[in-house]
Amino acid sequence: MAESYILTGDEVKDWESLMFLYNSAIKEIMTKIEILKDEFEYTHHYNPIEHVTSRLKTPQSIVRKLKKQGYETDIASMHRYLNDIAGVRIVCSFTSDIYRIADMIGSQSDIKTLLIKNYIASPKPNGYKSYHMIVTVPVFLSDRVVETKVEIQIRTIAQDFWASLEHKIYYKMEGNCPEEIKQELTRCAEMVSVLDDRMLSLNEAIRQLSEEETVS
Protein backbone atom coordinates (compact mmCIF):
# COMPACT_ATOMS: atom_id res chain seq x y z
CA MET A 1 0.00 0.00 0.00
CA ALA A 2 1.32 3.47 -0.90
CA GLU A 3 2.39 5.62 2.04
CA SER A 4 0.72 9.00 2.49
CA TYR A 5 2.72 12.12 3.16
CA ILE A 6 0.67 14.91 4.77
CA LEU A 7 2.28 18.33 4.52
CA THR A 8 1.79 20.84 7.33
CA GLY A 9 0.36 24.28 6.62
CA ASP A 10 3.82 25.85 6.76
CA GLU A 11 5.22 23.25 4.34
CA VAL A 12 2.59 23.54 1.64
CA LYS A 13 3.93 26.75 0.17
CA ASP A 14 7.51 25.44 0.21
CA TRP A 15 6.38 22.16 -1.37
CA GLU A 16 4.41 23.85 -4.11
CA SER A 17 7.24 26.27 -4.83
CA LEU A 18 9.79 23.46 -4.99
CA MET A 19 7.67 21.29 -7.28
CA PHE A 20 7.06 24.32 -9.48
CA LEU A 21 10.85 24.71 -9.80
CA TYR A 22 11.38 21.04 -10.70
CA ASN A 23 8.57 21.12 -13.23
CA SER A 24 10.01 24.30 -14.74
CA ALA A 25 13.45 22.65 -14.92
CA ILE A 26 11.92 19.77 -16.89
CA LYS A 27 10.44 22.27 -19.35
CA GLU A 28 13.84 23.95 -19.75
CA ILE A 29 15.57 20.63 -20.49
CA MET A 30 12.81 19.45 -22.83
CA THR A 31 13.06 22.68 -24.83
CA LYS A 32 16.84 22.36 -25.11
CA ILE A 33 16.56 18.77 -26.30
CA GLU A 34 13.92 19.69 -28.88
CA ILE A 35 16.16 22.46 -30.26
CA LEU A 36 19.20 20.16 -30.35
CA LYS A 37 17.17 17.49 -32.15
CA ASP A 38 15.91 19.96 -34.76
CA GLU A 39 19.37 21.46 -35.24
CA PHE A 40 21.00 18.04 -35.62
CA GLU A 41 18.40 16.94 -38.14
CA TYR A 42 18.82 20.18 -40.12
CA THR A 43 22.63 19.95 -40.12
CA HIS A 44 23.18 16.21 -40.52
CA HIS A 45 19.85 15.09 -42.05
CA TYR A 46 19.62 12.52 -39.27
CA ASN A 47 17.63 12.43 -36.05
CA PRO A 48 19.41 10.54 -33.23
CA ILE A 49 16.41 10.88 -30.88
CA GLU A 50 13.43 8.54 -31.21
CA HIS A 51 11.36 10.09 -28.44
CA VAL A 52 11.62 11.97 -25.15
CA THR A 53 9.52 11.63 -21.99
CA SER A 54 9.56 13.35 -18.61
CA ARG A 55 8.18 12.76 -15.16
CA LEU A 56 7.95 14.45 -11.76
CA LYS A 57 8.38 12.11 -8.78
CA THR A 58 5.25 11.65 -6.66
CA PRO A 59 5.19 12.63 -2.96
CA GLN A 60 4.79 8.96 -2.00
CA SER A 61 7.82 7.94 -4.05
CA ILE A 62 9.88 10.81 -2.64
CA VAL A 63 9.09 9.90 0.96
CA ARG A 64 9.70 6.20 0.32
CA LYS A 65 13.14 6.90 -1.15
CA LEU A 66 14.13 9.29 1.67
CA LYS A 67 13.16 6.70 4.28
CA LYS A 68 15.02 3.95 2.43
CA GLN A 69 18.18 6.09 2.41
CA GLY A 70 17.79 6.99 6.09
CA TYR A 71 16.97 10.70 5.67
CA GLU A 72 14.30 12.85 7.27
CA THR A 73 11.15 13.13 5.19
CA ASP A 74 11.10 16.91 5.01
CA ILE A 75 11.41 19.50 2.26
CA ALA A 76 15.05 20.29 3.04
CA SER A 77 16.12 16.62 2.79
CA MET A 78 14.15 16.16 -0.37
CA HIS A 79 15.86 19.09 -2.04
CA ARG A 80 19.34 18.25 -0.74
CA TYR A 81 19.59 14.48 -1.11
CA LEU A 82 17.39 13.47 -4.04
CA ASN A 83 18.68 13.94 -7.58
CA ASP A 84 15.84 12.38 -9.53
CA ILE A 85 12.73 14.31 -8.49
CA ALA A 86 12.68 15.80 -11.98
CA GLY A 87 13.46 13.25 -14.67
CA VAL A 88 13.84 13.27 -18.44
CA ARG A 89 14.34 10.12 -20.53
CA ILE A 90 15.76 10.22 -24.04
CA VAL A 91 15.39 7.13 -26.21
CA CYS A 92 17.62 6.87 -29.26
CA SER A 93 18.30 4.36 -32.02
CA PHE A 94 21.91 3.31 -31.47
CA THR A 95 24.42 3.17 -28.63
CA SER A 96 26.67 5.63 -30.45
CA ASP A 97 23.82 8.15 -30.31
CA ILE A 98 23.80 7.95 -26.52
CA TYR A 99 27.24 9.51 -26.19
CA ARG A 100 26.56 12.00 -28.98
CA ILE A 101 23.43 13.24 -27.21
CA ALA A 102 25.16 13.33 -23.82
CA ASP A 103 27.96 15.45 -25.28
CA MET A 104 25.50 17.86 -26.86
CA ILE A 105 23.65 18.32 -23.58
CA GLY A 106 26.81 18.58 -21.49
CA SER A 107 28.30 21.24 -23.78
CA GLN A 108 25.41 23.65 -23.14
CA SER A 109 26.95 26.65 -21.38
CA ASP A 110 24.17 27.00 -18.81
CA ILE A 111 23.93 23.30 -17.93
CA LYS A 112 26.18 22.04 -15.16
CA THR A 113 26.86 18.30 -14.99
CA LEU A 114 27.02 17.16 -11.37
CA LEU A 115 27.27 13.40 -11.83
CA ILE A 116 27.44 10.78 -14.56
CA LYS A 117 26.54 7.12 -14.09
CA ASN A 118 27.52 5.17 -17.19
CA TYR A 119 25.62 1.90 -16.98
CA ILE A 120 26.43 1.30 -20.66
CA ALA A 121 30.12 0.79 -19.91
CA SER A 122 29.41 -0.78 -16.50
CA PRO A 123 25.96 -2.41 -16.44
CA LYS A 124 24.18 -3.13 -13.17
CA PRO A 125 24.37 -6.76 -11.94
CA ASN A 126 20.88 -7.46 -13.34
CA GLY A 127 22.01 -6.34 -16.81
CA TYR A 128 20.44 -2.87 -16.74
CA LYS A 129 22.03 -0.47 -19.23
CA SER A 130 21.47 3.25 -19.50
CA TYR A 131 23.44 6.50 -19.37
CA HIS A 132 22.47 8.75 -16.48
CA MET A 133 23.35 12.41 -16.07
CA ILE A 134 22.54 14.54 -13.03
CA VAL A 135 22.58 18.14 -14.16
CA THR A 136 21.43 21.54 -12.98
CA VAL A 137 19.64 23.95 -15.25
CA PRO A 138 18.83 27.58 -14.42
CA VAL A 139 15.16 28.39 -13.91
CA PHE A 140 14.61 32.07 -14.52
CA LEU A 141 11.99 33.52 -12.17
CA SER A 142 10.80 37.12 -11.97
CA ASP A 143 13.15 37.99 -9.11
CA ARG A 144 15.92 35.37 -9.20
CA VAL A 145 17.54 32.47 -11.02
CA VAL A 146 17.42 29.07 -9.35
CA GLU A 147 19.76 26.22 -10.35
CA THR A 148 17.57 23.12 -10.27
CA LYS A 149 18.54 19.44 -10.53
CA VAL A 150 17.28 17.12 -13.25
CA GLU A 151 18.16 13.48 -13.90
CA ILE A 152 18.56 12.69 -17.61
CA GLN A 153 18.49 9.05 -18.72
CA ILE A 154 19.66 8.21 -22.23
CA ARG A 155 19.18 4.72 -23.64
CA THR A 156 18.47 2.81 -26.84
CA ILE A 157 15.05 1.53 -27.86
CA ALA A 158 16.10 -2.02 -26.93
CA GLN A 159 17.47 -0.94 -23.53
CA ASP A 160 14.29 1.00 -22.81
CA PHE A 161 12.16 -1.99 -23.79
CA TRP A 162 14.05 -4.25 -21.38
CA ALA A 163 14.07 -1.71 -18.52
CA SER A 164 10.32 -1.05 -18.84
CA LEU A 165 9.39 -4.72 -18.78
CA GLU A 166 11.83 -5.48 -15.96
CA HIS A 167 10.22 -2.72 -13.89
CA LYS A 168 6.72 -4.06 -14.57
CA ILE A 169 7.75 -7.60 -13.58
CA TYR A 170 9.33 -6.44 -10.31
CA TYR A 171 6.31 -4.23 -9.57
CA LYS A 172 3.89 -7.14 -10.05
CA MET A 173 5.99 -9.33 -7.75
CA GLU A 174 6.39 -6.51 -5.20
CA GLY A 175 10.17 -6.81 -5.34
CA ASN A 176 10.15 -10.53 -4.40
CA CYS A 177 11.30 -11.89 -7.73
CA PRO A 178 12.30 -15.60 -7.81
CA GLU A 179 15.94 -16.30 -8.64
CA GLU A 180 15.13 -18.11 -11.89
CA ILE A 181 13.23 -15.07 -13.18
CA LYS A 182 16.10 -12.77 -12.19
CA GLN A 183 18.50 -14.99 -14.12
CA GLU A 184 16.23 -15.03 -17.16
CA LEU A 185 15.97 -11.22 -17.08
CA THR A 186 19.76 -11.01 -16.98
CA ARG A 187 20.00 -13.33 -19.99
CA CYS A 188 17.46 -11.16 -21.82
CA ALA A 189 19.59 -8.09 -21.03
CA GLU A 190 22.57 -9.84 -22.62
CA MET A 191 20.50 -10.55 -25.72
CA VAL A 192 19.47 -6.89 -25.87
CA SER A 193 23.13 -5.89 -25.70
CA VAL A 194 24.01 -8.20 -28.59
CA LEU A 195 21.07 -6.85 -30.61
CA ASP A 196 22.20 -3.25 -30.02
CA ASP A 197 25.73 -4.10 -31.15
CA ARG A 198 24.52 -5.84 -34.31
CA MET A 199 22.12 -3.03 -35.22
CA LEU A 200 24.90 -0.48 -34.73
CA SER A 201 27.22 -2.51 -36.98
CA LEU A 202 24.47 -2.77 -39.60
CA ASN A 203 23.88 0.98 -39.46
CA GLU A 204 27.60 1.68 -39.85
CA ALA A 205 27.78 -0.66 -42.87
CA ILE A 206 24.83 1.09 -44.52
CA ARG A 207 26.35 4.51 -43.82
CA GLN A 208 29.65 3.44 -45.35
CA LEU A 209 27.91 2.12 -48.47
CA SER A 210 26.03 5.40 -48.82
CA GLU A 211 29.27 7.39 -48.57
CA GLU A 212 30.93 5.19 -51.20
CA GLU A 213 28.00 5.67 -53.59
CA THR A 214 28.18 9.44 -53.08
CA VAL A 215 31.90 9.50 -53.85
CA SER A 216 31.51 7.35 -56.98
Exposed/middle/buried for residue 160 (C-beta within 10 Å: 0-12, 13-18, 19+): buried
pTM above 0.85, yes or no: yes
Domains of the chain: 9-158 (3.30.460.10)
**Which ranges of the chain have pLDDT less than 70?**
1-13, 172-175, 214-216
- Catalytic residue ranges: 151
pLDDT at 137: 96
pLDDT at 3: 47
For residue 205, give the H/E element and its range.
Answer: helix 179-215
Output the CA torsion 67→72→76→82 (10° steps): -20
3-state secondary structure of 25: helix
Q: How many CB atoms lie within 10 A of CB 201?
A: 11
Q: Tens of pLDDT along 174-210?
A: 667 788 888 999 999 999 999 999 999 998 898 888 7
pLDDT at 2: 41
pLDDT at 168: 85
